[in-house]
Each structure stands twice: as C-alpha cells, then as structure tokens.
Amino acid sequence: MSAHTDWPDAVEVLNERGGCDVVLLCEHASNHIPAEYRQLGLEAANLQHHIAWDIGAARVTRLLATRLDAPAFLGGYSRLLIDLNRPLGSPGSIPVRSEDTDIPGNVGIDAAERARRAEIMFSPFHDRVAAHLDLRIAEGRPTRIVTIHSFTPVFVGVARPWHAGVLHGAASDLAEALISGLCKDAALNVEANVPYIISRDGDYAVPVHGDDRGIPAILVEIRQDLLSSRSGIEDWANRLAVALPA
C-alpha cells in the first residue's frame, strides 16, 4: 500500500514464480480499513485485535515464502470488511458481531454495499489465486496449498491449550504428515482440526481452491501469543519449513 492511497490492492503477491510446490495463502494478513468506513464504528484498539486480522500470520507467511521459495498471496484489507475465508453471503462474510464485539458499521448494510466489498476486496484476491493455480495446472506443476492463520489463546472465556492446529478437508495425509513433523518437538501440542473444523459453509480456501480442484490443501492455525515477538515468528516459520513434507 503506497503512502498516498487508502485503497491498497486486494492481494499482495510474493515470489509468484517460486520453485516450491507449496502455494501459501494468508487471507487475514491485514487490518486495514479505508477511512471512509470510519473504523466501522470501532475504537482504534479493536483494530489491533484478532477480530480485525490474524496477528502474526502475515509475517510468518512472508518468512516461510522465503524459506521455501514459495509463492504467497496475502489479503490487503481487514477481515471485518469482508472475510476472504468465508463464502459470500454466509453469516461470517461481513460480520455484525465478531467474538464478543459488535461491529456497528456492518449492521444493516444493503446489497449494493455487500457487492461493492466483494468486487473490490474478495473477488480480486480469489481470482488471482485461481489464475495462479490454473497456470500451475497448465504447466503440469505439482501443487499443495497451505494457508496461514493465527488464533486467540482464549475464545469467549475458554482457554485453548494447543500451540497450533492443522485443519483439512480431503487432504488428511498432508495434514497428518505436517503434524507428525511438528510433533518431533515433544514440547509442542499440535492436533488436527483444532481450534475448529473446515466446513463448506464456514471456509473458502481449502474447499474451493483445494478440495474442489483435487489439490491437497490445509489450513495452519498458530496460537497468537506464540507470534508476539520476532523470534517467535521466526521459530514458527522455521518449524513449518522443516516439517512440511517434501
């Protein structure tokens, strides 16, 4: 995003011709909300919380793209405007409440505003990802999708004990291989399909870009307190780079 524009590209693409068969996605990379939306009626502090973005996920993705020589696609806008990992029209797509916070600027918006956000923020991101996947298929390149997220240590008052989760639909083999690799460190608590499960009505990237195309696709969730420092972010990028099966 340049200094003079409030409207960044919907997708930031890194290393598109990288040689790795892994394609990285980071849908919740940014907490940016253009000024005309007046922070959706929220306090500035709210935009630093998980409801606005996945804390640390973008930095892990950038480092991992370098470590793996992998292409990466990062979202340019806050998930509060429109969530890139929720199907259009689903309750989570443009939330009126996120965790325990009401989102006043999303209440009662009309179909035209929903369509505008989809056109500016959602469709360009996924169209770019789809075009990249199409090109890889045309070139006969093997492909695996790994989408990087982070989660809160406590959700609506309930503590979450895991250090990370690896979520999957059809790609159980890839998920279990990554978990096995990560758990070579006996101190780590990593499980499949935590802190939630992939569903067709609640997720987008894994079912649409992955399962529907027959491309192995997984979603990695890292607990946010483990990404609160540069060293923590570097540790997790390194762990994933080593643990992803060749």
Render pLDDT for 35-52 as a digit per residue (tens, 0 to 9). Answer: 999 999 999 999 999 999
Render pLDDT for 188-216 as a digit per residue (tens, 0 to 9). Answer: 999 999 999 999 999 999 999 999 999 99
Mean pLDDT value of segment 55-76:
98
Identify whether 22 is part of a domain.
yes
Identify whether 2 is part of a domain.
no
Contact 26, 148 (CB under 8 A): yes
Number of structural domains (the chain) is: 1
Q: Which residue range(s) make up the domain with 178?
A: 11-243
Render pLDDT for 113-169 as a digit per residue (tens, 0 to 9). Answer: 999 999 999 999 999 999 999 999 999 999 999 999 999 999 878 899 999 999 999
Contact 130, 124 (CB under 8 A): no
Identify whether 182 is part of a domain.
yes
Question: For residue 36, which of 135, 109, 105 has the smallest C-alpha distance?
Answer: 105
Proportion of the chain above pLDDT 90, given as a percent: 95
Mean pLDDT of the chain: 96
Model pLDDT, residue 4: 53
Identify whether 6 is part of a domain.
no
Residue 175's CATH number? 3.40.630.40
Can you read off the two tokens belonging to residue 174?
């890839």
Strand order across the beta sheet in which 22-26 lies: 11-14, 72-75, 22-26, 144-151, 217-223, 164-168, 190-192
Identify whether 46 is part of a domain.
yes
Identify whether 216 is part of a domain.
yes
Model pLDDT, residue 156: 79
Identify whether 198 is part of a domain.
yes
Q: How confident is the model at residue 2 (pLDDT cuts 50, 70, 90)?
A: very low
Identify whether 4 is part of a domain.
no
